[in-house]
Amino acid sequence: MAIHSQMQLSFGVRRTFAGEAHWVTHLLDTPITIMDEPHHEIGIQHYAFDSSLAPAGKTALVVFIRSDYAYWQRIYGRRLYDSEQRQVSGIVLELLDAWHPGIRDDIEFVDEATPLSYERYTGNWQGASCGWLLTKDTLPLMIKGIPKRLPGLEKFYMVGQWTEPGGSVPIVAMSGRNMIQEICHEDYRPFVATTPL
Ligand SMILES: Cc1cc2nc3c(=O)[nH]c(=O)nc-3n(C[C@H](O)[C@H](O)[C@H](O)COP(=O)(O)OP(=O)(O)OC[C@H]3O[C@@H](n4cnc5c(N)ncnc54)[C@H](O)[C@@H]3O)c2cc1C
């Protein structure tokens, strides 16, 4: 099973959030229902740590919400697809405004991405963001490893988020590094790794 499909709501705000934690998870006393699914927490990330990401005095806020791929696929291409996205960002905006009073007036841009947006941009199955979900079936593969060669196809090696359970940038980088080490071994060449400065 791949990582759960999700929606991403991004808000361009005229606030910096400097000095505030990069990622805050709000535990909700009363769960909110989004696309028929109850959500008990909402995590908000801001990007004030990187001034190159927004003009001075501004930043982006990002909220990820687990969301069913099949639902979005069913309504894709219909007006409902757009209105459902706006409804979700509206619900999140209400919450943001409660946690950061007045923020509604400082929001300059709203972008909604659905699992279909992820699929369109990444080509990943059902818009998964990181490859295989870590479950009791996939966890042992972290030790055993997923085959990275194809029988009968010499000098072909696969690395990346679909060959390492869990995916993500660090694991993908490790995947490439480990494969280079194996190739060096096959070629009787020393493997040397350096850390970027
Ligand atoms: C919105 C989003 C947010 C994320 N946030 C994080 C995060 O905060 N931290 C984190 O660690 N991970 C994050 N991830 C996951 C992380 O980005 C991926 O796990 C990682 O980039 C996967 O690397 P990869 O090299 O396996 O695949 P990719 O980065 O998808 O690279 C595959 C490459 O192959 C190319 N390609 C495809 N087909 C062909 C072809 N036929 N011929 C030639 N080239 C081809 C593609 O163009 C692409 O450049 C996020 C993912 C998404 C989608």
Query: Is residue 1, in this structure, part of any structural domain at all?
Result: no
Confidence tier at 3 by pLDDT (50, 70, 90): confident
How far is it, in rounded angstroms, from Cα 73 to Cα 86?
16
- Reply yes or no on whether the pLDDT at 141 is more than 90: no
Q: Show the 3-state SS of 53-110.
A: HCCCCCEEEEEEEECCHHHHHHHCCCHHHHHHHHHHHHHHHHHHHHHCCCHHHHEEEE
Q: In the predicted model, what is the mean pLDDT of residues 141-146?
A: 86
Same domain (yes/no): 122, 150: no
Mean pLDDT of the chain: 93
Is any ligand 1 atom within 6 A of the Cβ of residue 169? yes
Query: Is residue 40, in this structure, part of any structural domain at all?
Result: yes
In percent, how much of the chain has pLDDT > 70? 100
Amino acid at position 23, single letter: W
Q: In the predicted model, what is the mean pLDDT of residues 20-40?
A: 93
Residue ranges making up the domain that contains 172: 139-186
Q: In the predicted model, what is the mean pLDDT of residues 9-28?
A: 95
Same domain (yes/no): 104, 12: yes
Residue from 49, 112, 168, 177 to probe ligand 1 pocket by mutation (most atoms less than 8 Å from CB)? 168
Same domain (yes/no): 68, 150: no
pLDDT in tens, 103-134: 999 999 999 999 999 999 999 999 998 888 88
- Structure tokens given for 143: 């030790």
- Structure tokens given for 27: 């535990």
Residue from 67, 111, 130 to probe ligand 1 pocket by mutation (most atoms less than 8 Å from CB)? 130
Tell me the CA–centroid distance for residue 122 and ligand 1, in Å. 6
pLDDT in tens, 150-189: 999 999 999 999 999 887 899 999 999 999 999 999 999 9
Predicted TM-score (pTM) of the model is 0.87
Q: Which atom of ligand 1 is found nearest the CA of 131?
A: 19
Tell me the CA–centroid distance for residue 123 and ligand 1, in Å. 9
Structural domain count, the chain: 2
Q: Which atom of ligand 1 is found nearest the CA of 122?
A: 30
Same domain (yes/no): 50, 119: yes
